[in-house]
Amino acid sequence: MPLHFITRGRSAAGLSAAAALLLTLSACSTGSPTATAPSTAAAGLPSSHVHGLSVNPQTDQALLATHEGLFDVTKSPATKIGGTNDLMGFTAAADQGVFYASGHPGPGSDMPNPMGLIRSVDGGKTWEQLSRQGESDFHALATAKSGIIAHDGTLQTSPDGKTWTPATAGFVPAVLAGNPETDSVLATTREGLQRSTDGGKTWVLNAAAPVIQFVAFASGTEVFGVEPGGAVHYSTDAGSSWTQTGSIKGEVQAITAVKKTDGKPIIWAATTEGIVVSTDGGQVFSTPPTVR
């Protein structure tokens, strides 16, 4: 079924950005491991579409979740971690090396299709099945203080990744973002930015926010958002208000954000041209020295 935007009151620029977001919401909808999409291969990165990016704030190790599995791109060449599974949804937990994912099993995998919610506690080397195996392909995943938020056609919340409760939401998220420090959660949608303050149970549309395609928390209150055209926005109040800072060149596929011990929020982005990072609040982006 085609998706349609609510266009009332939108400027021409807003409509263009919304149209670009619509294409993102429609992309990779089948979950096929062989689906084609913009590639990072030219930059020496995995050849398939990126669905998630995670960075260790202590070591700057950058991991990409793709149709072909999880890759460490701080090694040259990029090195696959674990088996080949189509990671359609991917998010980091509070503890380093703990990840949640969903999608479809790859060649040689004995997991059911779809994989439901799976978890790794060893940096993605091995995965355990938590719930909804054979039932759910969560294309959007996020963690918050009270648990996990996920979308498989229905937006749901879980305190433990095993039991699920439908959320009060009538939208389809392109990206979900949260932070273990808080229960503020954000969702980028065709209608605009949706915001929750109760761990994803209930939502309110932030009509004043820019049309954001990708969003990531650097801390409990600091958030970065990226428009379909690459414009970067920064929020210090968990997505209530935004300030434009800079822009990212190339087609963005995923972002993440971290906060260093010196207090600086840093945004990382995986684009069709490679990995870029900004250490000045999203004003200037460059290739990080840890990514070869």
Domains of the chain, first to last: 12-25+36-278 (2.130.10.10)
Section 129-142 average pLDDT: 98
Residues in the chain: 292
Separation between Cα atoms, residue 266 and residue 177, nearest integer Å: 16
pLDDT in tens, 148-189: 999 999 999 999 999 999 999 999 999 999 999 999 999 999
Residue 53 clears pLDDT 70, i.e. is over it: yes
Separation between Cα atoms, residue 270 and residue 285, nearest integer Å: 11
Q: For residue 1, what pLDDT is reported? A: 31
In sequence order, which ranges of 7-124 are alpha helices (DSSP H)?
12-26
pTM greater than 0.75: yes
Q: For residue 122, what pLDDT is reported? A: 98
26-40, 75-89, 247-261, 269-283: segment of lowest average pLDDT: 26-40
Sign of CA dihedral 190, 194, 199, 200: negative
DSSP class of residue 13 equals H
Measure the CA angle with vertex 60, ends 221 and 272; round to 5°: 90
Q: For residue 291, what pLDDT is reported? A: 83
Q: Which helix (H) or strand (E) holds 4?
A: none
Separation between Cα atoms, residue 111 and residue 127, nearest integer Å: 10
Section 61-72 average pLDDT: 96
Longest dimension (CA), the chain: 51
Q: For residue 37, what pLDDT is reported? A: 34
Per-state percent for the chain, helix, strand, coil, to nearest 5: 5, 40, 55
In sequence order, which ranges of the chain are alpha helices (DSSP H)?
12-26
pLDDT in tens, 244-274: 999 999 999 999 999 988 889 999 999 999 9
Q: For residue 47, what pLDDT is reported? A: 55
Which residues, in sequence order, are CB contacts of 127 under 8 Å at separation 6+? 82, 85, 101, 111, 118, 119, 120
Peptide bond into 77 cis (omega under 30): yes
Residue 41 clears pLDDT 70, i.e. is over it: no
Q: For residue 19, what pLDDT is reported? A: 42
Section 265-292 average pLDDT: 93
Which residues, in sequence order, are CB contacts of 104 under 8 Å at separation 6+? 31, 32, 33, 85, 86, 88, 113, 114, 115, 137
